[in-house]
Amino acid sequence: MRDRMRFCVPCLFGVEGLVAQELREMELEEVQAENGRVLFSGGWEAMVRANLNSRFGERVLLLLGEFPARSFEELFQGVKALPWEELLGREDQFPVTGSSLSSQLHSVPDCQAIVKKAIVERLKAKYRLSWFPETGSLHRVRFRILKDQVSVMVDTSGEGLHKRGYRAQSNEAPIKETLAASLCQLSRLRSDGHLIDPFCGSGTLLVEGALLALRIAPGLQRSFTAQAWENVPQSLWRQERDRARAQERRETGFSAQGFDIDPAAVELTLENARKAGVEEYISASVRDIRAFSQEGRYGCVICNPPYGERLLDVRQAQQLYQSMGSLFRPQRGWSFGIITPDPEFEALFGRKADKRRKLYNGMIQCQYYQYFRGEEKGRDAAPTAPR
Does this model's pTM top 0.75?
yes
CA-wise closest residue to 167 among 302, 57, 277, 271: 271
Residue 212 near residue 195, CB atoms below 8 Å: no
Q: What is the pLDDT of residue 380?
A: 39
Give the residues across from 357 on adjacent strands: 368
Report pLDDT for 187. 97
> Digits of tens for pLDDT over the chain (387 positions)?
678 999 999 999 999 999 999 999 999 999 999 999 999 999 999 999 999 999 999 999 999 999 999 999 999 999 999 999 999 999 999 999 999 999 999 999 999 999 999 999 999 999 999 999 999 999 999 999 999 999 999 999 999 999 999 987 655 557 999 999 999 999 999 999 999 999 999 999 999 999 999 999 999 999 999 999 999 999 999 999 999 999 999 999 999 999 999 999 999 999 999 999 999 999 999 999 999 999 889 999 999 998 876 555 888 888 999 999 999 999 999 999 999 999 999 999 999 999 999 999 888 899 999 999 976 443 333 443 443
Domains observed in the chain = 5-155 (3.30.2130.30), 177-216+245-371 (3.40.50.150)
Cα–Cα distance, 266 to 384 (Å, whole number): 29
**pLDDT at residue number 167:** 85
- Given this model, what pLDDT does residue 386 score? 40
Largest CA distance in the chain: 76
Segments of the chain assigned E as strands: 5-10, 29-34, 37-42, 61-68, 96-101, 141-146, 149-155, 194-197, 255-260, 282-286, 299-303, 334-340, 355-361, 364-371
| pLDDT attached to residue 313 | 84
Q: Report the distance separating Cα 76 and Cα 359, nearest Å.
A: 36
